[in-house]
Structure 1
Amino acid sequence: MNTATRQEHDLIGYRDVPADAYYGIQTLRAFENFTVSGVRLHQFSTFVRALATVKKAAAIANNKVDVLDERIKDAIVAACDDVIDNKYHDQFIVDMFQGGAGTSTNMNANEVIANRALEILGYQKGDYQHVHPNNNVNLSQSTNDVYPTAMKVALDDYCTRLLQKMKVLHDSFINKSIELADELKMGRTHLQDAVPMTAGQEFNAFATMIKKEMARIESSRVLFHEINMGGTAIGTGLNAPVGYSELCAQTLEELTGRPYYIAEDLIEATQDTSPYVALSGNLRLLAARLSKIANDLRLQTSGPRAGLAQYRLPEMQPGSSIMPGKVNPVIPEVVNQACFHVMGVDNAIAMASESGQLQLNVFEPVMAFNLFTGMSMLSNVCEVFATRCIDGLMMNNEACRVEVFNNIGLVTALNPHLGYESSSYVAKKAQETGGSVYDIVLGEKLMNKETLDFVLSPANMVYPKVKLMP
């Protein structure tokens, strides 16, 4: 075990830092101070890469406005490229929950990049007279423009992955709707029998729900392209050279392929967290939709003999430690739980946004943690829901057909032809006698068999049209 150290100092004093560490004294202090969630920066690699991308753009912009030496710029850029290439992520050790509005995250990045740049230039780690975390890596910057900009870059990446996984689930629902396009089943309202539909229509509706939420998530991404780089501490631009902001946005656009631009009002942008609230609201909508679909499937697969049993889910694992043969709907259940989490933390994000004071919102770290976690969960459950549940779902065709044609709700299809009073009479008699709607209509001579068969044909019952028989 290597116990060698190097000594570093900051305004608080001196500390020994592990000699082989790329992080420095400020990261070490934050590591000790913030033992809250146990979730470290390196567990969100997307965010770490985003921080390095922002630092790279800043170094290039600083060089172009002649405040950063070419040689130091090249070393910083190379160090950033290493981090973007998923190297040294284990050195990002600060807890995601932290005071200081993300200053510890920013300094963790500054120190790792500075020490890697020193190494590239042939110097020892901690030899900050050659490349300094604050003077060089953080040049023309503040945590208050770096952290939210990196957060937006990361959230754009999270949106990309989430949309890909939502598309997987959408396509799974579409494929199932095609597979079950002509299979009749009972629709229900208020948990009571309603009117017939096809399973294909049900799964197509699920696909439409996901498609609508994909459009909402996509609309959220536009909000992340406005950044406040160059606003520095509170948006006044103190210590940022003329032209730096625009060059930073331009460089970030070139590095990511996304249309970043500087906010018109940097003071407003520095304290604004509304894009995170908007995204969280859309994530809550998606979670509500997914949870509703999971609930529907859990209800309709209840049984296998004493429930609805309209569908059968793939058997994923034994369901009980005491009841042999029991299999539970574990995938819809885990979807529910992930959705509960996302809907719950939406409130935490709204509270964090509202609680921002004056020219800065210091609670962006909890917003970042909850958004990153929630989007990861939703991405994962979309894929799991599709591949381990929907793709292998089967319909209990015979049971559903018997349910349809023995169901009192069938009388609704007769209403345009018999009128409400006669239809009500048939429904009441079917309820009292246990007889089928079909047999009662024929027995009461309310319709002849040819007319009744036409009205109750699947094509006429499940599509929105009414054609009265002469």
Structure 2
Amino acid sequence: MPRIEKDSLGEKKLPDNAYYGIQTLRALENFPISGLRADEILVKAYAILKKTCCLANTELKLIDAKKSKAIIKACDEVINEQFSDQFKSDVFQAGAGTSFNMNLNEVIANRAIEVLGGQKGDYKIVSPNDDVNMAQSTNDTFPTAMRIAILLKLATFYPALKKLIKTLKVKGKAFDNIIKSARTHLQDAVPIRLGQEFISYAITLEKCLKDIEKNAEDLKELGIGGTAAGTGINTHAKYRFAVIKFLKQETKLPFKISANLIEIMQSQQAIAHISSAIKNLAIELNKITNDLRLIASGPNTGLGEINLPAVQPGSSIMPGKVNPSILECLNMICMHVIGADQTVSLAIGNGQLNLNVFMPLMAYEILNSLEILKNGLKMLEEKCVRGITANKATCEKYVTQSPSLVTALNPIIGYLNAAEIAKEFIKTGKPIDEIILAKKILDKKQLKKILNPRKLTEPGLPK
């Protein structure tokens, strides 16, 4: 039996089993856009915020204790994902996230009404606006919930990145005795150790991790209590501080209230910072992934310096072909994340006056980027990097075939003379050591010492 609810625009019929209300129904009717829903972590973060706001109002004796207890119980149930199917608002919705905020308010209110023995829709018992949304606006709760959600998502993201860094270091150590030719401009260059390359990848990702962690600190500054425009209208003077206190207790995160609620409402600079840091990680991962694809190319007509674990047949027409599928997948993830940051940048730059209304898009893109990156990093570590092996003989063959070996002779015979040796090597194919001995530039003992491949991968001058 459907129930009828009424708002300032009129009446609507809702399914009796729906915990969402008339405003959510209007959003579903108005915005059937993508089928994309908010990340569960945003629902959880918003419910945590609703709970702490209620706790603050209770402490300040602004809401009835019995009603408060029911609201808090409903919030806890939402936090524990008991009503996940009730959060239906499309990612592309009314500006600022009003549809999503009201979706939370209505679900929590209707569940609280049930707890108190009433029927869903009887908002005289618990009101979505007057009780659940007391001392709140979408304009201060959505950006606050967005920050909480990103921090919670980062907590699940960090382990995947740290595990990959650790595995790259393990591979770096395992490959430390394998000498290969470096390549600059995609041309043969001086000797380098395969292990040095893997260690450098780990160091790059460590820098990205530190950058993300540093920028995540800005997310702990919140504008809750600013309500509609940052002025704090309709809030108790102690309300915002009480909310922060309870948020700290609920999340174990060191949140703080912004010194200027108007500024933090109209500027989403902290969101820009974290989005950019995530994008920078994607850029570096994309480069590393491309490197691994290149040095694994083959098996017979590519570089073939490393072997990647085979995870699936690579072609529907070429029998026996195996592709770098894991790396290709990560490339696509990185491209998506880089594009998502551009979307976030546009959303942030298009805010007007005292509010940026494009927060739902920001939240979706960042949380989705973290989710797909987290899964991609786990995939990369487990199904690719962990199982990489080196083709030592191939790597060492390239060292002897690189004309850039003569670089070590620069301090002894000068750049131009060394260039002549390189040109002869390329033209005739004669081994470099043979050319040097024929020209009587060095004897065998000197040559062996100076062209020691391992020494050429470390700082030093030939003697």
Q: Which category of TM-score, normalised to the shorter sequence, fits these structures?
A: over 0.9
2:181 pairs, out of 166, 181, 186, with 186
Asked if 1:398 corresponds to 2:393, the answer is yes
2:279 pairs, out of 284, 292, 306, with 284
Kindly report which structure 2 residues correspond to 1:307-346, keeping only aligned pairs within 5 A, or say none: 307-346=302-341
2:429 pairs, out of 427, 431, 434, with 434
Match of 1:380 in 2: 375
Asked if 1:14 corresponds to 2:11, the answer is yes
2:222 pairs, out of 221, 227, 231, with 227
Asked if 1:461 corresponds to 2:448, the answer is no
Query: What is the CA–CA distance in structure 2 between the aligned matches of 1:127 and 1:413, rounded to whole Å?
Result: 84
Match of 2:2 in 1: 5
Match of 2:197 in 1: 202
Match of 2:23 in 1: 26
On the 8 A contact 2:95/2:359 being kept in 1, the answer is no
Q: Which amino acid aligns with 2:54?
A: A
Query: What is the CA–CA distance in structure 1 between the aligned matches of 2:76 and 2:434, rounded to whole Å?
Result: 76
Query: What is the CA–CA distance in structure 1 between the aligned matches of 2:65 and 2:156, rounded to whole Å?
Result: 36
Asked if 1:255 corresponds to 2:250, the answer is yes
On the 8 A contact 2:18/2:86 being kept in 1, the answer is yes
Q: 1:62-100: per-residue Cα shift (whole Å, max 9, x none)?
A: 011110111111111111111111210111011011113
On the 8 A contact 1:177/1:204 being kept in 2, the answer is yes
- Give 5+ residue unaligned stretches, structure 1: none
2:59 pairs, out of 52, 59, 64, with 64
Match of 2:347 in 1: 352
Query: What is the CA–CA distance in structure 2 between the aligned matches of 1:253 and 1:299, rounded to whole Å?
Result: 48
Question: What TM-score, normalized by structure 1, do the two folds share?
Answer: 0.97
Measured after TM superposition, the shift of residue 271 of structure 1 is: 1.2
SS in 2 for 1:391: helix
Measured after TM superposition, the shift of residue 422 of structure 1 is: 2.6
Asked if 1:444 corresponds to 2:445, the answer is no
Match of 2:122 in 1: 127
Q: 1:186-234: per-residue Cα shift (whole Å, max 9, x none)?
A: 1000000011111100000000110000001001211111111111000
Query: What is the CA–CA distance in structure 1 between the aligned matches of 2:362 and 2:354, rounded to whole Å?
Result: 17
Match of 2:152 in 1: 157
On the 8 A contact 1:407/1:437 being kept in 2, the answer is no
Measured after TM superposition, the shift of residue 421 of structure 1 is: 2.8
Query: What is the CA–CA distance in structure 2 between the aligned matches of 1:221 and 1:5, rounded to whole Å?
Result: 45
Query: What is the CA–CA distance in structure 1 between the aligned matches of 2:417 and 2:98, rounded to whole Å?
Result: 74
Percent of residue pairs bearing the same amino acid type: 43
On the 8 A contact 1:97/1:369 being kept in 2, the answer is no
- Give 5+ residue unaligned stretches, structure 2: none
Q: Which amino acid aligns with 1:72?
A: K
Measured after TM superposition, the shift of residue 414 of structure 1 is: 2.2
Asked if 1:142 corresponds to 2:142, the answer is no
Asked if 1:113 corresponds to 2:108, the answer is yes
Match of 2:37 in 1: 40
Query: What is the CA–CA distance in structure 2 between the aligned matches of 1:111 and 1:126, rounded to whole Å?
Result: 9
Match of 1:424 in 2: 419
Measured after TM superposition, the shift of residue 256 of structure 1 is: 0.6
Bigger shift: residues 29-38 or 53-62: 29-38
Match of 1:298 in 2: 293
Q: Which amino acid aligns with 1:116?
A: R
On the 8 A contact 2:95/2:360 being kept in 1, the answer is no
Q: Which amino acid aligns with 1:273?
A: Q
Match of 1:54 in 2: 49
Query: What is the CA–CA distance in structure 2 between the aligned matches of 1:179 and 1:100, rounded to whole Å?
Result: 53
Query: What is the CA–CA distance in structure 2 between the aligned matches of 1:220 and 1:163, rounded to whole Å?
Result: 14
Measured after TM superposition, the shift of residue 318 of structure 1 is: 0.4
SS in 1 for 2:408: helix
SS in 2 for 1:14: strand
Measured after TM superposition, the shift of residue 126 of structure 1 is: 1.2
Q: 1:102-124: per-residue Cα shift (whole Å, max 9, x none)?
A: 00100000011111111222221
Bigger shift: residues 306-315 or 438-447: 438-447
Query: What is the CA–CA distance in structure 2 between the aligned matches of 1:233 and 1:315, rounded to whole Å?
Result: 55
Query: What is the CA–CA distance in structure 1 between the aligned matches of 2:302 and 2:312, rounded to whole Å?
Result: 20
Query: What is the CA–CA distance in structure 2 between the aligned matches of 1:402 and 1:152, rounded to whole Å?
Result: 53
User: What is the aligned length?
Assistant: 463
Measured after TM superposition, the shift of residue 371 of structure 1 is: 0.7
Q: 1:397-424: per-residue Cα shift (whole Å, max 9, x none)?
A: 1111111112211111222233223311
On the 8 A contact 1:65/1:244 being kept in 2, the answer is yes
**RMSD after superposition:** 1.1
Kindly report which structure 2 residues correspond to 1:67-78, keeping only aligned pairs within 5 A, or say none: 67-78=62-73
SS in 1 for 2:182: strand
Match of 1:218 in 2: 213
Query: What is the CA–CA distance in structure 2 between the aligned matches of 1:83 and 1:464, rounded to whole Å?
Result: 59
Q: 1:226-270: per-residue Cα shift (whole Å, max 9, x none)?
A: 111111000111111120011011110111111111111111111
Question: What TM-score, normalized by structure 2, do the two folds share?
Answer: 0.98
Bigger shift: residues 380-389 or 133-142: 380-389
Query: What is the CA–CA distance in structure 1 between the aligned matches of 2:450 and 2:315, rounded to whole Å?
Result: 46
On the 8 A contact 1:158/1:372 being kept in 2, the answer is yes
On the 8 A contact 2:23/2:103 being kept in 1, the answer is yes
Moved over 4 A (4+): none
Match of 1:236 in 2: 231
Measured after TM superposition, the shift of residue 164 of structure 1 is: 1.5
